Amino acid sequence: MPPCAMPLLLLPLLLAALALPAPGTAAAGGCGPCDAARCPALPARGCPLGRVRDACGCCWQCGRGEGEACGGGGAAGGRCAPGLECVKSRQRRKAKGGPVPAAAAAGPPGVCLCKSRYPVCGSDGLTYGSGCQLRAASLRAQSRGEPAISQRSKGACEQGPSIVTPPKDIWNVTGAQIYLSCEVIGIPTPVLIWNKIIRGQYGVQRMELLPGDRENLAIQTRGGPEKHEVTGWVLVSTVCEHRAAQAAESKLLMDREQDSTQMATDREFAGKQ
């Protein structure tokens, strides 16, 4: 064999060696043989969300977090961390059963989303948006040498009611319309009531539940503006003059009745004479 022919023979062999798929990667005909010695090393600091096997079940790799790409080939793909699932994009779901658009075929087919998409209460007393967020916080705590965080219950952690925006002092003129507002938050959502402090004899105070039988008071309550919040209003309407008019009218009627009674008594007394 001429010496000049050897490089030409080595070149195809070298190209064939470079074209061999990495262990655990899915080739056109499926997964190749698993060789754990050729698997890429994991980060020295470990995987923040835990490790998972690759698509062929051969090599360990770091699990993808919420919102990260998954399911595609190459570096853009990957598998979701425990507790998450790879959800296909809407574009790929629409293309199911038909040709996949080129833009969708080039990118990853989905993103990682948490399987349990509801808030949970952690053993640390904090509320997490999902079980996946709690697990991520637990792994971070363990990496710092702190105790693991477990799920205490489903839903947000209970929180005692507290006043977000208290009523403010209001200065106004007699006969004007005023209102007081108050925002309260708590888990479960608190019930907002209004009480008036009344000073009795000898400085003794007592609480009167509003509105009671007062015609010039109106109370309204609604949820919000934030979740587990409630806002209430007390409206003091302009009925002071109306009440004064009612009192004056009642006094006038009483005076008239007294005058009529007095006139009838005078006539009766005069008839007897």
Q: What is the maximum span of the chain, computed from C-alpha positions, in angstroms?
A: 166
What is the number of domains present in the chain? Answer: 3
Per-residue pLDDT tens, the chain, 273 aa: give them: 454 444 443 333 333 333 344 444 444 446 788 888 888 888 888 888 888 888 888 889 998 888 888 886 554 468 898 888 898 866 444 444 444 444 444 455 788 899 888 899 999 989 998 888 898 899 889 888 899 999 998 888 888 888 888 888 877 777 778 888 899 988 888 888 888 888 777 776 788 888 777 777 888 888 888 888 999 888 887 645 444 333 333 333 334 443 443 333 334 333 443
Which CATH number characterizes residue 209's domain?
2.60.40
Q: Are residues 221 and 164 in the same domain?
A: yes
Alpha helices for 187-239 (secondary structure H): none
Which CATH number characterizes residue 87's domain?
4.10.40.20
Range of the domain at 43: 39-91+107-115
Structure tokens at 34: 């698993």
Rounded to whole angstroms, how far apart are CA atoms 66 and 49?
Answer: 10
Cβ-defined contacts of 100-104 (< 8 Å, 24+): none
Q: Are residues 144 and 184 in the same domain?
A: no
Q: Are residues 220 and 177 in the same domain?
A: yes
Q: How many CB atoms lie within 10 A of CB 271?
A: 7
266 domain-assigned: no
Q: Are residues 122 and 179 in the same domain?
A: no
25 domain-assigned: no
Which CATH number characterizes residue 149's domain?
3.30.60.30
Q: Where are the beta strands (DSSP E) in 8-107?
A: 26-27, 30-31, 51-53, 60-62, 69-70, 84-88
Rounded to whole angstroms, how far apart are CA atoms 255 and 43?
Answer: 97
98 domain-assigned: no
210 domain-assigned: yes
Sole residue written with tokens 């009523």: 167
